[in-house]
Amino acid sequence: MTLRTIVMFIIIFGIVVISHELGHFLLAKAGGIHVVEFSVGMGPTILGFQKGSTKYSLKLLPIGGACLFEGEDGLNQEGDEPSPGAFPNANVWKRISTVAAGPIFNFILGFIIALAMVNMIVIRDPVATQVLEDGAAMEAGMQDGDRIISLNGERVYLYEEILLFNVLYRGGEVELVYERDGQRYTTAVTPKYSEEYGRYMLGFSNADYVELQGTDALRYAWYEMRYNVKNTYKSLGMLLSGQVSRRDVAGPVGIANMVGQTYEQARQYGWKDVLVNMMNITLMLTVNLGIINLLPIPALDGGRLVFLLLEVIRGKPIPPQKEGMVHFIGLMFFMILMVLIFFNDLANLFHI
């Protein structure tokens, strides 16, 4: 792994983490919540300074970040009574907005990146510009120029969504809705396995490139965001159901290696292609971080939101010490998981 790869990874990961923690930070400040420390990275502090009542830190390991609030989890209170700016003393809705702001800022960053990307990349609408002879689509009665509307009830807006469907296909008939001459038709397609591509395919190709006009960029940026969200939650579903192997799971080392490989493949086409690919990786990571942090798991933002919503329902908070202990256990679990993923990355890197 080269120094260039490490630097590019740190920049990409830093942008994603800073946007997440900045969401927490800005909403906390707006709500009058005291931010004790704003940090990027984990482990020992290598750079830091104090401004006002907040410490700003850069940590050694580029694998996360934190925005620590006074009185959070009941573990860092001095004395029996926290100050008026402590996290537990804020209105519950201010606390909810502060916790939710991290993932929301990840999605905002993702949309900004997608908006920039759609003006630089080739966009393909979900049109079967060429129905392949003896392919599944031709057998189902499809013709050149048919526009794909949905696959198994899921709306399709980009051709990349069809490619993703092919990759994730696990057998059975596919209900395909397409449009021809303004009329919609429904057919059943059974994808055929392609030895050349090593996966099942619906049986058509695409060369329908979109020329953006007016507000098209906003619409297609939304489609790109939607595609990445779909890709993330479908991948999580496959992971939880055991449909992926350990070689398909990547942590920081694996992602850094992917950055390096992508750079080497893109550099031969020029700086613009490198930039687009790095932006695409950043988009993927920020959407992943946003979605994963919304999962209702202790120590994650989603787990904290569960406790805050329980407070809204009950009319009183869960005792801070009990909530803090639950999140502490969750944090220990994630620390162990990170160690396992780190060694998994090394095993994948050295093909063990």
Q: How far is CA 164 from CA 183, 220, 335, in A?
A: 26, 17, 31
Same domain, 163 and 228: no
Same domain, 113 and 150: no
Same domain, 269 and 139: no
pLDDT band at 73; cut points 50, 70, 90 = low
Which residue, 192, 209, 226, sits at the end of a domain?
Answer: 209
Residue 150 CA to residue 74 CA, distance in Å, equals 49
Of 147, 209, 133, nearest to 176 by C-alpha is 147
Same domain, 305 and 331: yes
What is the rounded average pLDDT of the residues 157-161? 94
Residue 28 CA to residue 24 CA, distance in Å, equals 6
Q: How far is CA 53 from CA 37, 48, 70, 149, in A?
A: 9, 13, 11, 54
Most confident option among 26-35, 69-78, 208-217? 26-35
Res. 104: pLDDT tops 70: yes
Structural tokens at position 322: 């009990």
Residue 209 vs residue 280, higher pLDDT: 280
Residue 62 vs residue 99, higher pLDDT: 99
Res. 77: pLDDT tops 60: no
Q: Percentage helix, strand, coil, to 5, in the chain? A: 55, 20, 25
Which residue, 182, 209, 236, sits at the end of a domain?
Answer: 209
Say what percent of the chain tops pLDDT 70: 93
Which of 48-57, 104-113, 201-210, 242-251 comes out lowest in average pLDDT? 242-251
Q: What is the mean pLDDT of the chain?
A: 89
Same domain, 307 and 215: yes
Give Dmax over CA atoms of the chain in angstroms.
Answer: 76
Same domain, 75 and 223: yes
What is the rounded average pLDDT of the residues 51-59? 93
Give residue 334's pLDDT: 82
Res. 15: pLDDT tops 70: yes
Q: What is the CATH number of the domain that holds 180?
A: 2.30.42.10
Which residue, 209, 231, 266, sits at the end of a domain?
Answer: 209
Same domain, 256 and 331: yes
Res. 1: pLDDT tops 80: no
What is the rounded average pLDDT of the residues 288-313? 94
Same domain, 181 and 160: yes
DSSP β-bridge partners for residue 201: 192
**Structural domain tally of the chain?**
2
Same domain, 109 and 132: no
Say what percent of the chain tops pLDDT 90: 61
Same domain, 244 and 149: no
pLDDT band at 96; cut points 50, 70, 90 = very high
pLDDT band at 62; cut points 50, 70, 90 = confident
DSSP string, 151-169: ETTEE--SHHHHHHHHHH-
Same domain, 140 and 216: no
Res. 132: pLDDT tops 60: yes
Res. 150: pLDDT tops 80: yes
Domain containing 169 equals: 124-209
Coil, strand, or helix at residue 147?
Answer: strand
What is the rounded average pLDDT of the residues 151-173? 91
Res. 151: pLDDT tops 80: yes
Q: Check if the beta carbon of residue 277 is closer than 8 Å to that of residue 262.
A: yes
Which of 8-22, 113-127, 266-280, 336-350 comes out lowest in average pLDDT? 336-350
Same domain, 162 and 270: no
Res. 130: pLDDT tops 60: yes
Q: Check if the beta carbon of residue 259 is closer than 8 Å to that of residue 12.
A: yes
Residue 234 CA to residue 213 CA, distance in Å, equals 31
Res. 42: pLDDT tops 80: yes
Q: What is the pLDDT of residues 235-283, one digit of tens each?
A: 888 777 766 666 666 777 788 888 899 989 999 989 999 999 999 999 9
Residue 95 vs residue 195, higher pLDDT: 95
Task: Supply φ then ψ for residue 209, to 5 degrees.
Answer: -95, 135
